[in-house]
Amino acid sequence: MANDLGFQSLQLRQMVAARLRAEILDGTMKPGEWLRQEALSRRYGVSQTPVREALKQLAAEGLVEDVAYRGVRVVDLCRGDVEDLYACRALMECRAARFAAANITDSEVDELELLYLQMRRCPVPDGLREYRELNRKFHAVIIAASRRSFLVRNLTQLWSAFPTMLWSNIPPVARTSAPGRDEPDTAEHAEIVAAFRQRDPERAARAVRHHIEAACIALLAEMEKQRSTGPLGTNADAAADEYQIGSAR
């Protein structure tokens, strides 16, 4: 009987965590929104115990944060968070690309090229959701081809949530691509495929790093445009300069 109760409790916690996670990632739960246990228990038709355990799980995943004396809220990414996220991606995915270029199979390169061609056929903004899913798969192929378990495990976790969370933190980018990114993004993916087709570790690492850093600069520029209260705002060049300074730190 005790084992049955424990199993039911685990199922409830996982159910609540799954629903909360989905609502955070699709933007139903907004960045900075407070998550009250009592309200959530009524919303999901469960007691507060599985809600409390689910919130702990999502806090460990980095989707929510526990603020002392105030409660739990959806993580609201700031400029520094985005800088750190992309700096980590640049470091780890660049390393993964270097190993992948030495280990990737012909079928994996073919898969990369197919994903690239499918992305090219996605219209923006109507096909943006499909494009982003293809892009996630594109990077996942490279990460898996590295055959480095630590990189695969940590990059998979990183990719599972934060790219989606970025869109909810930057509403204009949730609906369409960042300004000026469509053509460069296509060219960057093409260069990555070419580097892996040649099995060139340094070219692959360089191409992946450039792609990630260019995406970061565009996102930072959009964040500044959205959140700036100054009369002049900012631009991509300023964002690039600040990102490079932040990366150096």
> Do 28 and 150 fall into the same domain?
no
Q: Based on the structure, what is the number of domains in the chain? A: 2
What pLDDT digit, counting tens, does each position of 51-89 carry?
999 999 999 888 899 999 999 999 888 889 889 999 999
> Do 29 and 127 fall into the same domain?
no
Lowest mean pLDDT among 45-49, 96-100, 229-233: 229-233
> Do 122 and 226 fall into the same domain?
yes
Q: Are strands 71-74 and 64-67 parallel, antiparallel or unpaired?
A: antiparallel
> Do 109 and 209 fall into the same domain?
yes
CATH value at residue 137 = 1.20.120.530
> Do 68 and 126 fall into the same domain?
no
Reference 215, options 194, 238, 236, 190; nearest CA is 236
Q: What is the pLDDT of residue 153?
A: 95
Model confidence, pTM:
0.74
> Do 68 and 187 fall into the same domain?
no
Alpha-carbon span 110 to 197, nearest angstrom: 9
Over residues 85-97, mean pLDDT? 96
Reference 46, options 18, 21, 10, 13; nearest CA is 13
Alpha-carbon span 115 to 179, nearest angstrom: 22
Task: Give the tokens for residue 190.
Answer: 């093409």
> Do 57 and 169 fall into the same domain?
no
Q: Which of 59, 74, 89 is the last residue of a domain?
A: 74
What pLDDT digit, counting tens, does each position of 11-56 carry?
889 999 999 988 887 778 888 999 999 999 999 999 999 999 999 9
What pLDDT digit, counting tens, does each position of 151-207 carry?
999 999 888 877 777 766 776 676 666 767 778 889 999 999 999 999 999 999 999
Structural domain of 131: 79-248
